[in-house]
Structure 1
Amino acid sequence: MARESYNDLLAFLAVTRERSFTRAAAQMGVSQSALSHTIRALEARLGVRLLTRTTRSVAPTEAGERLYNNLAPRFEEIDAGLAEVTELRDSPRGTIRITATDYAANSVLWPRLAPLIAQYPDIKVEIMTDYGLTDIVAERYDIGVRLGDQVAQDMIAVRIAADLRMVIVAAPSYLQAHPAPLKPEDLADHNCINLRLPTHGGCYPWELKNGKTELQVRVEGQLTFNSSYQMLEAALSGCGLAFIPQDLAAPHVAAGRLQWVLEDWFPTFPGLHLYYPSRRQSSRALALVIGALRHSEDS
């Protein structure tokens, strides 16, 4: 294949990764029709169909899947090699893409990364917040941030926060109208504020622990969010019980705006960790970001 066809292969990788001509074209800065023509020409030269197109989706054929799996890692190695060369410059540069929950982004990432990006203007950081267990390799993130027990074993993990305690809270106004639950089973009689998990499509069961007794309680209520901060605001408004990180609730409990509920059942989880593929070559920009986020006892 002629070397000028390498751009066609990059186009194929983009469409396959995005599962969309529209998104891939926007990413590459070309028109959708031009990108479609490029893929058709590539298929014609190879003599095999690479993509199955419908009005709503794009998916690789068996041949396309095989080609993608062979090419993607090699182009990643080329990108890494080029990044190594650019790292010889005096100032580290590059874009670091991170996926994290909104709680992790607000409580840990932003406070620690703000001084870094001020010091290194050529480092760019992109933070996307969600509660799904994102495949950082498939979605082309440099770093994922999740609780320690959610990190896959084939990833390099770095602790960035102390262990996390989850709590149940409610506003005094809510508890005046609804007597506080005395045991986890009583949660069935309460208006509980749910957190929806996009990975599984369902709501997060409240994982409670009292000594050696552990329970997963599926709660019901009028409100469901995909953000801990929205859950906190709803609880402050007297809309029901919320299951949120302790450090979000503690200032409001101290001020009398919230009260602890079922305090004997508050669980503790392994703290937030950043993680990245073990085969990834670290750039100076990535190393600086990891260093800025790394947890210390003084954090």
Structure 2
Amino acid sequence: MYGIQQMRLPLATLEVFNAIAKEGSLSAAAIALGIKRSTVSHQLKTLETQIGAALFVRTTRSISLTEAGRALAQSSGPAFEQLANGFENARAAGQSTRGTLKLAIPEFVYHLLISAPLLSFQERYPEIEIELRLADAWSDILKEGLHAGFRLGGVIAQDMVAVGLTEPMTAAVVASPSYLEKHGTPTHPLDLLEHNCLHYRFPSSGQLAPWMFSGPDGPYPVEVRGNLIANSLPVSIEQATRGLGISYTFREFSANALASGELVEILSDHAATMPRVHIYFPQEYRALVPLKLFIQHLKQANAGRISTSKS
């Protein structure tokens, strides 16, 4: 009994058996499977030896199932149909322009890269369901049942793939014209110590985001102070436009407010360079059609818009 439990199922020979039973002859089964008739005959003999009974009665004109053959066909036939359906469903899931795409996205990446192109993507591919999980922390894609995540920089786990979606970005210190008129304009990063600076706190770690600047000896931080801390960059930008204080963000993220004049960039000569935004995903999802289409759409929608230009 132990030996029977440990025996591996002879799937290849069972496939040949079911093809013969379905097609009605060894020659027809060979054609259906795309193999030689001699191979079909050999596989059948192997299976009959393993079972210890003949499965077909063969004459010069016909072939019919024995009692053992009918028993095997009744049980293995539906199982192979189910396997075939499962195979086709799996192939369709990987190659179809339908399905669910689950993504872990930091809030700033959503507003920077995803928000605007999302409508046109779903209009083009209405059968792809997008699930967004807003999170600033590094996500364990496989453990959390996600397909992909976004992060600054391209340092990822060994079994992941990272695709850059932007050029290296630039930090920006911004304030409203009314705030600067009332409190003066800093001309050096250390001048920020005399101003109300709007902090960003990472929701996952609870750490305050550092204010980094570029100097002759490399990047350096300035430990600013202020009376508002938020775990949302859009909130920080909004309060800066209202004149509450000075905000530290990405130049690309505040581009609209800078273009409209709601905000003014200061200390641009001291701006630090920030990493690219990458999307990362398991290697097994390289060929996942919904993910490939989404990445392609994001690149096309944001082409030329996310750059390091100071204009």
- Is TM (by shorter chain) over 0.5? yes
CA distance in 2, matches of 1:88, 1:96: 12
Aligned-partner residue type, residue 148 of structure 2: I
Identify the residue that residue 142 of structure 1 maps to in structure 2.
147
Q: Distance in 2 between matches of 1:82 and 1:199?
A: 40
2:108 counterpart of 1:103: yes
What runs of 5+ residues in structure 2 fail to find an aligned partner? 1-85, 306-311
Q: Give deviations 1:146-195, integer Å, cap 9, x for gaps.
A: 12255445420111122211200111222233233332222222211111
Tell whether 2:95 aligns with 1:84: no
Task: Give the total of aligned pairs.
Answer: 219
The answer for the alignment partner of 1:94 in structure 2 is 99
Could you state the TM-score of these two structures normalised by the residue count of structure 2?
0.62
Q: Distance in 1 between matches of 2:94 and 2:163?
A: 26
Are the counterparts in 2 of residues 210 and 264 from structure 1 also a CA contact under 8 Å? no
1:159–1:294 Cα contact (<8 Å) kept: no
In the TM superposition, 1:1-299 aligns within 5 A as: 84-87=90-93, 91-149=96-154, 151-152=156-157, 154-280=159-285, 282-294=287-299, 298=304
- For the aligned residue pairs, the C-alpha RMSD in angstroms reads 2.7
Change (3 A) 1:217 1:139: farther
- TM-score, length basis structure 1: 0.64
Q: Tell whether the 8 Å contact from 1:148 to 1:273 is kept in structure 2 after alignment.
A: yes
Aligned to 1:72: none
Kept in 2, the 8 Å contact 1:190–1:241? The answer is yes
Per the TM alignment, residue 220 of structure 1 is displaced from its structure 2 partner at its CA by 2.0
Task: Summarize the Cα distance change of 1:274–1:177 in structure 2 as closer, same or farther, 3 Å threshold.
Answer: same
SS in 2 for 1:87: helix
Structure 1 ranges of 4+ moved more than 4 A: 80-83, 149-154, 295-299
8 Å CA contact 2:154, 2:278 repeated in 1: no
Distance in structure 2 (CA, Å) of the matches to 1:297 and 1:250: 15
Q: CA deviation at 1:216?
A: 2.0
Report the residue type matching 1:257 in the other structure: E
Distance (Å, rounded) in 2 between the aligned partners of 1:210 and 1:279: 42
Q: What secondary structure is seen at the aligned counterpart in 2 of 1:193?
A: strand
Q: CA deviation at 1:297?
A: 5.2
The Cα shift of 1:298 comes to: 4.4
The structure with the largest alpha-carbon Rg is 2
Check conservation: 2:112, 2:253, Cα contact below 8 A: no
What SS does structure 2 have at the residue aligned with 1:204?
Answer: coil
User: Which segments of 5 or more consecutive residues in structure 1 lack a partner in the other structure?
Assistant: 1-79
